[in-house]
Amino acid sequence: MKRILLVGVSGPDGAGKSSLAGRVAKDLRGQGYAVATPYCYGCLVCRHLPRRLRFRFTASVGERPSTGSGDGAWIGRLHGWVDAAELAVRLAGAVVRARCTALGRPAAVVTDRGPLDGLVKFDPSPGSALTAVFTRLSRAYQVTLLLDAEPEVLAGRDGEFAVGPLADLRNDYRRWASRSRHVDVVNAAAPPAEVAAEAMARVPVERHPPAGAAEPSPDAADTRKHVVISTFDDIRNPHYHGGGALLVDKVARRLAGEYRVTVITVAGRGGSETRDGVRYRKLPLGWAGPRSGQLLYHAVLPFVARRLPHDLWLESFTPPFSTGFLPLFSRSRVVGLAQSLSGAAMSRKYHLPFSLVERLGLRFYEDVVVLNEADGAIVRRRSPRAVTHVIHNGVDQRPVDPGRIGDGDYIAYLGRVDVWAKGLDLLLAAHSSGPPSMPLLLAGAGAPGEVAKLVALLRATGADARWVGEVTGARKDSFLAGCAFTVLPSRGEAFGIAALESMSYGKPVVHFDLPTLRWMDGGGNVAVPAFDVDALARRLRALAEDEHMRRELGLLSYRAAQRFSWERTTGRYLTLVQRLLSSPRPPSDDTGAATREPRREKAGS
């Protein structure tokens, strides 16, 4: 990933910093850059303290230096550190904004003022820690443009300060500029057009297509319609990479046979790559972790949808409130992929009105794909005009020796480590309550905090249970093949891809009786009254002790799994996309919801 272009505009009062910063940003956009333009001078002390107190912490041009304006007193050092910290936060935020809106184009940040102005403002001792901090921040810049002019010119433009104080300030800027790297002096006394031209000559730019132009595809000759799929999760995401990520990967590859496909997802440092004919563009939000990252993802995605040309957008709903309101921002049709309607569960967990946000957002979608009829009914209640398409998940088909069905040495849990959402506390309580004759092995990955909770629960229960970490590839195959049966104790599931994977190995699945899991009914599943720990414990013991029952249920599970191939699932997505792209978009009312009779459509079973 290319380094972002960072340009600062600094100088004394009256030099025209803000005007030049705006002109440089405009010129960079004209040369194809995505540009963020933060104002980087002054901290919360400077902005929010009353004037009668503020003079104790800072000094203006021509005023007597206060105890807080330099680093000679502790209060001055504290003020300087607050200013430097806020500058660093503003720079980081601007870099994230620029990268998230770049979408493969070069990114730049043009700051109105910057670290050089902080050095002049506080005038710390050359060897002090505060000087080192501002100097380190300044080294992130490729160039700092120092606007310079005679004091008389500055005073004439500023109209507030006299020539003498401005001359002193100009000397301070020159002194600190001589100690800093990558500072280029620009003649501020010249006409504005000449100042801008001289400044741009000092900025190390690369030529790119102008801003606002349609973004070129990786293959300029590819004139196929463009389908975008957005998903926070990704099969390479270290925190999740669950069933939703697998579905998006399979669907994207199937669609790439007929369309130009881009997947918008999240990674720690952003970037892009092409895999199996699919372009993956990664927003640099992974550093925020899974929960904060999801909120940032929701905030950034509308801008991406507005910026990236497309013919159809498939939006995979993301916690905590599922919808990203993309139909309000996209210029084309948006299909919601309700792999998770998480609003109600997140509201119960965090005591925040996520469900209300989800309820409002669903009203703007004309088409929503759901994984089960229960979620389809919820969508239709909340958005009566929406068409719901029921398309179940798929699984890789594999041969299983019928003679081995019913075998196994342990009870298995396979899924994300999320103690509350996945019901792992309920599972461990059931397993330790009159434990069955088999140990419990839990496999999966999760956020570090959730893994720590699970480890603490395992210690506290003292049951014959252990966490074996994440299993993939051959380890996953061995894990599922070697278990007697699996258990899915989730408090809520949209589908339960781990259950379907277990069924494909001929393994029965014990689960709480949730409406969203009734697609398994009659397929070798064992449903337990929802969240009844005692009933779950009884079922675990009974199945662990009865190999004949496991064999009968396992045969039913294996046969049921044959109906859920990825070829069939992705084929239904392809059919849906073909129909939506070939049909005219229905007219919309002022709310953005389609004005058509409410109906539902079942695209899979």
Q: Which of 202, 236, 263 marks a domain boundary?
A: 202
Higher pLDDT, 600 or 50: 50
- Omega into 50 within 30° of 0, i.e. cis? no
Torsions phi, psi for 398 (to 5 deg): -140, 145
Find the CATH number of the domain harbouring 20: 3.40.50.300
Q: Are residues 449 and 342 in the same domain?
A: no
Q: What is the pLDDT of residue 239?
A: 56
Looking at 171-175, 217-221, 355-359, which range is the least confident one? 217-221
- Band of residue 207 on the pLDDT scale cut at 50, 70, 90: low
- Band of residue 597 on the pLDDT scale cut at 50, 70, 90: very low
Q: Are residues 327 and 436 in the same domain?
A: no
Q: What is the pLDDT of residue 198?
A: 92
Question: Rounded to the nearest 10 degrees, what angle do helices 354-362 and 343-350 cross at?
Answer: 160
With 80 as the cut, is the pLDDT of residue 404 above it? yes
Residue 582: inside a domain, yes or no?
no
Close Cβ partners of 277 (under 8 Å, ≥ 6 residues apart): 253, 256, 257, 261
- Band of residue 235 on the pLDDT scale cut at 50, 70, 90: confident
How much of the chain exceeds pLDDT 70, in percent?
86
- Band of residue 371 on the pLDDT scale cut at 50, 70, 90: very high
Tens of pLDDT, residue by residue over 153-189, are: 888 886 777 888 888 889 999 999 988 888 999 999 8
Q: What is the pLDDT of residue 217?
A: 45
Q: What is the pLDDT of residue 124?
A: 87
Q: What is the pLDDT of residue 73?
A: 56
With 60 as the cut, is the pLDDT of residue 51 above it? no
Residue 326: inside a domain, yes or no?
yes
Q: What is the pLDDT of residue 64?
A: 41
Close Cβ partners of 430 (under 8 Å, ≥ 6 residues apart): 489, 533, 534, 536, 537, 540
Residue 425: inside a domain, yes or no?
yes
Q: Are residues 382 and 411 in the same domain?
A: no
CA dist 225 to 102, 217, 229, 249, 383, Å? 21, 11, 13, 19, 28
Q: Are residues 30 and 161 in the same domain?
A: yes
**In the predicted model, what is the mean pLDDT of residues 218-233?**
81
- Band of residue 605 on the pLDDT scale cut at 50, 70, 90: very low
Tens of pLDDT, residue by residue over 463-489, are: 789 999 999 889 999 999 999 999 999
Residue 194: inside a domain, yes or no?
yes
Q: Which of 538, 561, 584 marks a domain boundary?
A: 561
Close Cβ partners of 555 (under 8 Å, ≥ 6 residues apart): 402, 405, 506, 524
With 60 as the cut, is the pLDDT of residue 219 above it? no
**In the predicted model, what is the mean pLDDT of residues 213-222?**
51
With 70 as the cut, is the pLDDT of residue 556 above it? yes
With 80 as the cut, is the pLDDT of residue 74 above it? no
Q: Are residues 460 and 485 in the same domain?
A: yes
With 90 as the cut, is the pLDDT of residue 451 above it? yes
The residue range of the domain holding 74 is 5-202
Q: What is the pLDDT of residue 407?
A: 93
- How many domains does the chain fold into? 3
Find the CATH number of the domain harbouring 281: 3.40.50.2000
**In the predicted model, what is the mean pLDDT of residues 364-375?**
94
Pairing of strands 271-275, 278-284: antiparallel
Angle of CA points 598, 603, 605, to nearest 5°: 120
**In the predicted model, what is the mean pLDDT of residues 308-331?**
93
Residue 207: inside a domain, yes or no?
no
Q: What is the pTM of this model?
A: 0.66
Q: Are residues 194 and 52 in the same domain?
A: yes
Pairing of strands 312-316, 485-488: unpaired
With 50 as the cut, is the pLDDT of residue 602 above it? no
- Band of residue 587 on the pLDDT scale cut at 50, 70, 90: very low
Q: Per DSSP, what are the bridge partners of residue 528? A: 512
Tally of CA atoms within 13 A in the half-sphere of 383 that contains its CB: 26
Q: Are residues 472 and 328 in the same domain?
A: no
Q: Are residues 293 and 172 in the same domain?
A: no
Q: Which of 348, 368, 390 marks a domain boundary?
A: 390
**In the predicted model, what is the mean pLDDT of residues 528-550?**
95
Q: Are residues 369 and 426 in the same domain?
A: no
**In the predicted model, what is the mean pLDDT of residues 342-354?**
86
Contact 177, 138 (CB under 8 A): no
Amino acid at 315: E
Block residue for tokens 């400077």: 46
Residue 585: inside a domain, yes or no?
no
Tens of pLDDT, residue by residue over 495-521, are: 999 999 999 999 999 999 999 999 999
Q: What is the pLDDT of residue 594?
A: 37
Q: Are residues 275 and 310 in the same domain?
A: yes
Residue 189: inside a domain, yes or no?
yes
Q: Are residues 374 and 406 in the same domain?
A: no
Q: How far apart are CA 561 and CA 4, in angstroms?
A: 49
Q: Are residues 35 and 164 in the same domain?
A: yes
Looking at 64-73, 531-540, 567-576, which range is the least confident one? 64-73
Q: How far apart are CA 14 and CA 166, in angstroms?
A: 9
Residue 512: inside a domain, yes or no?
yes
